Amino acid sequence: MLDYIQNIKSGNHLSYEIVFKLFHKKVYAYFLKKTASEDMAQELTQLVFIKLWNFKHTLSLDHELDLQLFQIARTVLLDHFRKQANDERNLKLYHSSLKEDAGSQLPNFDAQQQLEVVLSVLPPTRKKVFVLNRLSGYSYKEIAQQLSISPRTVEKHISLAIKQLNTKTCLALMILFHQLS
């Protein structure tokens, strides 16, 4: 395996492909066990091998390749879980602020109207993906199939929607208040 490390470090594509074939199933199985999602396991597995290639210069000749590969896998998994937790936390904060705003600042609108105002800042596809996932409870895979896009694209839309709603919600509410007065 030392030869593979040296060859990958020097940019040898053939060695990289061999390592990919040797370890793909093991890395995929690791992610499948940890995430219980075939789509997520596949995406995370691809990310590991992309990182292996992009950061090949950091590979060490002092450690076995499989140890280094699974260290990358653990880091990718931790990053994924952190991002997921952060998205959930942001959504909960967003919902709680919406509830506070609904009760105190927009007494003339019902919750559905408030939600439409807030979601109006999102592009149409992002809004549809967000509504299907967060309000209708569809999984990323179900949304991907319904809209003929990849689950990774669905995940990206959700992430961008949450970020956009956090930054644009205040602006949308200010515009709405200005129009009402």
CATH number at residue 162: 1.10.10.10
Nearest to 36 by CA among 90, 69, 92, 81: 81
Token look-up 């919600």 returns 169
Where among 45, 79, 113 does a domain terminate?
79
**Mean pLDDT along residues 22-46:** 94
| CA–CA–CA angle 92, 36, 126 (5° rounding) | 45
Q: Is 120 helix (H, G, I), strand (E, B) or coil?
A: coil
- Are 70 and 24 contained in the same domain? yes
CATH number at residue 58: 1.10.1740.10
Number of domains in the chain: 2
- Are 59 and 109 contained in the same domain? no
Type of residue numbered 7? N
Which tens digit of pLDDT belongs to each residue from 52-90? 999 999 999 999 999 999 999 999 999 988 888 887 777
What per-residue confidence (pLDDT) applies to 106?
A: 47
Q: What is the domain extent for residue 29? A: 2-79
- Are 112 and 164 contained in the same domain? yes
Radius of gyration of the CA atoms of the chain, in A: 22
84 domain residue, yes or no: no
Give 97 or 40, the one with higher predicted confidence.
Answer: 40
What are the distances in angstroms from CA 37 to CA 27, 43, 82, 103, 113? 14, 10, 17, 38, 35
Question: How many C-beta atoms lie closer than 10 Å to residue 69's C-beta?
Answer: 21
| CA–CA–CA angle 160, 78, 22 (5° rounding) | 110
| pTM of the shown model | 0.52
- Are 30 and 69 contained in the same domain? yes
